[in-house]
């Protein structure tokens, strides 16, 4: 028996073995605070590939030092980082999965303590933090006030994304995702709550989208025609006066016209106190709306944790792919379990683990 969830998907020159992909999940574990991945990242990410994921997408990875969410975030702005990613990518490939990396700039939400720190908020410069930047000098609730970017700064941001995309290819990655969600820099440009500019990067939706489209253009020009580019959006700010689904549908349409292949549709993150009605699959309708109305393939995310739930999302055309986060942390072999539950025959369960297969005896 075949199921849509286990059908391969081809995006430009890349074919991925199934539609269950690992969502980018920050580990805050670059312990030297230099953005270089460590053995933790190899084991963490490699386990998902071994567990049958179609694609494993690395966490939000700073395109410039000041773009990191925390001092312990990964980066891809220099060759040392690129070279340290190569063995991780090689192992992911050895297990039959595709490797992706989410390229990010946190903007006003950068330079923060990692979640399990006893201190929260912005890390002071004297403690290893830095002055953050944003479309406007408007602080995120509880964080330090950022510096407003100049037009030249915005141009350099796009160049930073492009340079990181080039290093991603050199490291062997198969796709990149541009992070324009969760209240980070490109989302900050899109939302009128955080973008108060009056120049070509503020005001109308077309102007608020310009920074993102410049990034998409720069990345597409750098990676060429055959390499997949994904954009992650927050489809709503969940707050009156904020970014809306209708606006994101339009921006996703523009992003597709500029060379993006898939819209990874999440929500929220730009307003600390936004009332978000969280529940299983609560963000899937947003992915379905973008797919239906923007004419671009979509990825659904958000509390997708059951095989039949994931199958239903893909089989009914609400999204082309599901990205799973927390369930992979609970069970790195989630795709192997999903295949058994859906009665799908796959040929990539690790031979070393066959003695534990439910089809084996003894």
Residues marked as catalytic: 184
Nearest Cα residue to 55 out of 341, 322, 315: 322
Provide the Cα torsion 324, 99, 17, 43; round to 10°. Answer: -70
The neighbouring-strand residues paired with 180 are 233
Q: Are 283 and 323 in contact (CB under 8 A)?
A: no
CA atoms within 13 A on the CB side of 243: 33
User: Which residues, in sequence order, are CB contacts of 147 under 8 Å at separation 6+?
Assistant: 131, 132, 133, 134, 137
Q: ∠160-162-167 over CA atoms, to 5°?
A: 95
Specify the residue for token string 């796959």: 346
Q: What is the token pair recorded at 31?
A: 């312990």
Instruction: Please state, in angstroms and rounded to a whole number, the distance separating the CA atoms of residues 49 and 55.
Output: 7
3-class secondary structure, 16: strand
Instruction: Please state, in angstroms and rounded to a whole number, the distance separating the CA atoms of residues 69 and 187.
Output: 14
Q: Are 103 and 168 in contact (CB under 8 A)?
A: yes
Alpha helices in 25-150 (DSSP H): 39-50, 79-94
Specify the residue for token string 């393939």: 297
């Amino acid at each position: 028996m075949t199921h849509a969830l286990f059908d391969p998907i081809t995006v430009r020159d890349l074919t991925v073995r199934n539609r269950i992909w690992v969502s980018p999940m920050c580990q805050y574990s670059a312990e030297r605070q230099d953005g270089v991945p460590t053995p933790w990242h190899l084991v963490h990410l490699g386990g998902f590939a071994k567990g049958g994921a179609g694609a494993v997408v690395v966490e939000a990875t700073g395109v410039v030092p000041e773009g990191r969410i925390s001092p312990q975030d990964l980066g891809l702005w220099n060759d040392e980082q690129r070279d340290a990613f190569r063995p991780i990518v090689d192992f992911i490939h050895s297990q039959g999965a595709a490797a992706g990396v989410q390229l990010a700039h946190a903007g006003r939400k950068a330079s923060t303590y990692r979640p399990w720190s006893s201190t929260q908020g912005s890390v002071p410069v004297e403690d290893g933090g830095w002055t953050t930047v944003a479309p406007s000098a408007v602080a995120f609730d509880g964080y330090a006030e950022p510096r407003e970017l100049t037009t030249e700064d915005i141009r350099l941001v796009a160049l930073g994304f492009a340079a990181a995309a080039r290093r991603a290819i050199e490291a062997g990655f198969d796709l990149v995702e541009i992070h324009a969600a969760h209240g980070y820099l490109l989302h900050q440009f899109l939302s009128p709550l955080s973008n108060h500019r009056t120049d070509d990067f503020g005001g109308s939706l077309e102007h608020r989208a310009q920074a993102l489209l410049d990034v998409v253009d720069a990345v597409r020009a750098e990676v060429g025609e055959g390499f997949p580019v994904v954009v992650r959006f927050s489809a709503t700010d969940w707050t009156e006066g904020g970014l809306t689904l209708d606006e994101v549908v339009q921006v996703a349409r523009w992003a597709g016209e500029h060379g993006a292949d898939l819209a990874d549709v999440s929500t929220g993150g730009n307003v600390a106190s936004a009332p978000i009605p969280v529940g299983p699959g609560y963000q899937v309708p947003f992915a379905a709306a973008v797919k239906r109305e923007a004419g671009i393939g979509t990825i659904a995310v958000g509390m997708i944790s059951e095989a039949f739930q994931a199958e239903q999302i893909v089989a009914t055309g609400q999204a082309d792919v599901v990205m799973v986060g927390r369930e992979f942390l609970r069970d790195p072999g989630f795709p192997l379990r999903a295949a058994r539950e859906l009665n799908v025959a796959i040929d990539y369960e690790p031979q070393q683990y066959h003695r534990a297969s439910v089809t084996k005896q003894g």
